[in-house]
């Protein structure tokens, strides 16, 4: 078995993953009226064939009809989605990968297919500047109803055979409640961090109650609002601590999307420090996300104990077989490929070996540098 951290197995409860590559849900809108198109299923199955350990589906499946639809979200509130989910998870499993799904209520956050006149709810009546929505304040009956809708959505995903579930915050209703930048309430759901976490915890406990105990629940948080008066990485550690105590199995560490005034500091693996702090200060498995695009990035994160899984999004849009390609690039040849693809595996490994040999003969120069030398450039 390879010693590369990228390809080491990982177990979370009864979920056994073949490596540390987590394909996050940065997919195009492949749904129609809330139901997945055939292309959507194919997209995730191709990633499973391409070697990922786990593919996160949905790009957020909305739990309620009053959650503003954005970017072709799936309708997790509709029973008709269950057979679609079951067929997709069966196909993903056939190729050795696991499947999780994100569920969420988007709160005031809307997308290209939202009509401004449709009512949306949020903790406070703050206009959503990026998407032009004008939310009404979530009343107690709204809160109670949405908690139940989360639990119902989780039940549907359980029947659909999902291996895990992730409650999505990332700028959505969860984030809007616990961020002081968007929660200006004065009742028991506002004020202190403990109060601002009250609603997200009510949702989590309702989902935890219906979700199989042997299967994991992840919570995706925005660990830094990148705006004055918003959530800080110190707050994120406390949020993770609270969810761990409530029974969360993993924290997916992203950032931003709460305020249009955000000023993130981008860079390679720029959000990994959030996963690092939460993993090592709270003692809960984490997922590192953001600008992770090479095998060496994953190897360094896992080897250093900064996270347990690495989410790779955009590279999988460009190449669903990213995991197999990166393994070949670092010289690992014992990773199994689908039978139909094995001739491509042999050719790829041969070509990569040839490139390395040519570079060594040219003193370490890349093929482009060698070409330039030949042309006298």
Contact yes or no for 148/208 (Cβ under 8 A): no
Strands (E), 43-152: 54-62, 98-104, 121-122, 136-137
Residues with Cβ within 8 Å of 315's Cβ and at least 6 positions away in sequence, in order, are: 293, 322
Calculate the dihedral angle through the C-alpha atoms of 317, 318, 321, 327, rounding to the nearest 10 degrees: -120
Calculate the dihedral angle through the C-alpha atoms of 66, 64, 31, 291, rounding to the nearest 10 degrees: 100
End-to-end CA distance of the chain: 44
Catalytic site positions: 172
What residues are paired with 286 via a beta bridge?
251
Residues with Cβ within 8 Å of 244's Cβ and at least 6 positions away in sequence, in order, are: 251, 282, 283, 284
Q: What CA–CA distance (Å, rounded) separates 232 from 255?
A: 10
Q: Helix, strand or coil for residue 90?
A: helix
Contact yes or no for 137/124 (Cβ under 8 A): yes
| Cα separation values, 110 from 74, 127, 153, 357, Å | 14, 11, 20, 52
Q: Which two tokens stand for residue 263?
A: 């000023």
Q: Helix, strand or coil for residue 54?
A: strand
Residues with Cβ within 8 Å of 344's Cβ and at least 6 positions away in sequence, in order, are: 337
Query: Comparing C-alpha atoms, which of 126, 155, 127, 121 is closest to residue 141?
Result: 121
Q: What CA–CA distance (Å, rounded) separates 345 from 336?
A: 9
Q: What CA–CA distance (Å, rounded) separates 329 from 338?
A: 18
Q: Which two tokens stand for residue 119?
A: 């009512």
């Amino acid at each position: 078995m390879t010693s590369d951290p990228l390809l080491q197995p990982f177990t979370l409860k009864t979920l056994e993953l073949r490596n540390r590559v987590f394909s996050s849900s940065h997919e195009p809108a492949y749904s129609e009226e809330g139901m997945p198109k055939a292309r959507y299923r194919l997209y995730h199955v191709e990633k499973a064939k391409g070697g990922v350990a786990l593919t996160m589906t949905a790009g957020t499946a909305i739990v309620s009809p009053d959650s503003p639809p954005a970017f072709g979200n799936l309708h997790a509130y509709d029973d008709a989605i269950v057979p679609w989910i079951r067929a997709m998870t069966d196909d993903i499993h056939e190729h050795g990968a696991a499947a999780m799904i994100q569920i969420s209520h988007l709160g005031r956050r809307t997308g290209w297919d939202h009509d401004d006149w449709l009512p949306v709810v949020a903790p406070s009546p703050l206009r959503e500047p990026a998407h032009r929505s004008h939310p009404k304040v979530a009343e107690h009956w709204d809160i109670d109803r949405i908690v139940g809708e989360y639990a119902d959505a989780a039940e549907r995903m359980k029947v659909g055979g999902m291996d895990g579930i992730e409650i999505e915050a990332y700028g959505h209703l969860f984030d809007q409640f616990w961020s002081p930048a968007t929660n200006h309430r004065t009742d028991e759901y506002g004020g202190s961090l403990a109060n601002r976490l009250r609603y997200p915890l009510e949702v989590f406990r309702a989902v935890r109650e219906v979700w199989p105990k042997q299967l994991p629940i992840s919570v995706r948080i925005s660990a830094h609002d990148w705006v004055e008066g918003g959530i800080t990485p110190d707050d994120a550690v406390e949020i993770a601590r609270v969810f761990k105590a409530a029974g969360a199995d993993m924290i997916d560490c992203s950032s931003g999307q709460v305020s249009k005034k955000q000023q993130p500091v981008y860079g390679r693996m720029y959000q990994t420090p959030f996963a690092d702090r939460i993993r090592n200060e709270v003692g809960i498995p984490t997922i590192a996300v953001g600008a992770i695009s090479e095998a060496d990035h994953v190897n360094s994160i896992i080897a250093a104990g900064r996270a347990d899984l690495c989410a790779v999004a955009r590279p999988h849009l460009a190449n669903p077989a990213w995991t197999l390609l990166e393994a070949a690039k670092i010289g690992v040849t014992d990773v199994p490929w689908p039978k139909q693809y094995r001739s491509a595996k042999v050719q790829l490994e041969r070509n990569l070996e040839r490139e390395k040999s040519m570079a060594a003969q040219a003193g370490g120069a890349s093929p482009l540098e060698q070409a330039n030398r030949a042309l006298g450039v």
